[in-house]
Structure 1
């Protein structure tokens, strides 16, 4: 029975990920999530309590997955940006859910501890690398991390219309632009 409970929760999270990525929290429908998960609305409320709490569970799971899958070596920030880009390309719902989170949930939710802790760890690692002379100190550690994260998400932040006019670069070209841009930040 315990395995059934876990499998049901996993199906609900997976279905909710797709629903919320496509429609946000306000536009997401519990009925569609339940149907896609081969479940029912009562189970959603049993396991998560509310649609908003289900979104939080989806977003928290993606944050944990992303921070575990994409590790940062402060002496290879271009590589880190490239791996983040790879993740955004492989899982476009991450960018969409992050946008919905910022728009619909961030103020009510408060800081997500795993994001805060992960960010502080990265900032500390960049700061240590700067003190050891392995990274330039033109930017503060927080600024350097912010710029790296922003550049890694550059293509996913653009509208589909922009992608249609920015032809020719392809996946490898877009990735190279990102890693080259982060490398340029590190030049003295």
Structure 2
């Protein structure tokens, strides 16, 4: 990489970090391009040079968020309860990540293209691991239920942290139990007759 390319990459990273902070605080609608540029210490024209639009910048921040989560919490389709607890723990320690997912859910009507491939791969892995078939649910439904549970319980992350370790431990245990129950083999008329 040349000096110009290094400088462009550094500017892009500064913009992503500033936008991450602005969007986690104010969401897409409330996030201000002027504030992002000022925080990054650059002219706001550079936002459009690097990301085309505010929406392009928001998509880049969301894609970066997914990459950070994937790097910190590897997906384990063969052990969804472990994955769910690890993701809950991550969000308890990284509330910015959680808030970005929350804003995305509130403000976007569809999964951003940057996340779509990630979710499709997760669905494929859950199907391959057989977890969805055992639970009697389509893989996308199983994952949607797991993420809904996690988001519902993790949203007020700051409150849970103030409650202390016992409350967090209880919530972790409940998440594990709920996901384990989702994964139990479906009772069929044949298996019900045996009991």
Structure 1 69/135 Cα, relative in aligned 2: closer, same or farther at 3 Å?
Answer: farther
The answer as to whether partners of 1:81 and 1:151 remain within 8 angstroms in 2 is no
> Following TM superposition, by how much is the alpha carbon of 1:168 offset from its aligned partner in structure 2, in angstroms?
7.1
Unaligned runs of 5+ in 1: none
Of 166, 178, 182, 2:179 maps to 182
Q: Comparing both structures, which one devotes a greater share of its residues to helix?
A: 2
TM-score, scaled relative to structure 2: 0.77
- 1:63-74 aligned within 5 A: 63-74=66-77
Structure 1 stretches (4+) deviating beyond 4 angstroms? 158-161, 163-168
The answer as to whether partners of 1:67 and 1:118 remain within 8 angstroms in 2 is no
> Following TM superposition, by how much is the alpha carbon of 1:148 offset from its aligned partner in structure 2, in angstroms?
1.8
Q: Report Cα offsets for 1:124-179 as digits up to 9, x if no partner.
A: 22223328xx9723333222222222222232235977x59977743333222212
> Following TM superposition, by how much is the alpha carbon of 1:29 offset from its aligned partner in structure 2, in angstroms?
1.6
SS in 1 for 2:135: coil
- 1:11-160 aligned within 5 A: 11-104=14-107, 106-107=108-109, 111-130=111-130, 136-158=134-156
Q: Report which structure shows greater RCO (CA 8 Å, sep ≥6).
A: 1
Unaligned runs of 5+ in 2: 186-195
TM-score, scaled relative to structure 1: 0.79
> Following TM superposition, by how much is the alpha carbon of 1:117 offset from its aligned partner in structure 2, in angstroms?
2.3
Distance in structure 2 (CA, Å) of the matches to 1:102 and 1:16: 17
The number of residue pairs the alignment matches comes to 182
The CA RMSD over aligned residues, in Å, is: 2.9
> Following TM superposition, by how much is the alpha carbon of 1:183 offset from its aligned partner in structure 2, in angstroms?
1.6
Structure 1 168/114 Cα, relative in aligned 2: closer, same or farther at 3 Å?
Answer: same
Q: Report Cα offsets for 1:65-87 as digits up to 9, x if no partner.
A: 32343322222111110121122
Q: Which has the larger radius of gyration?
A: 2
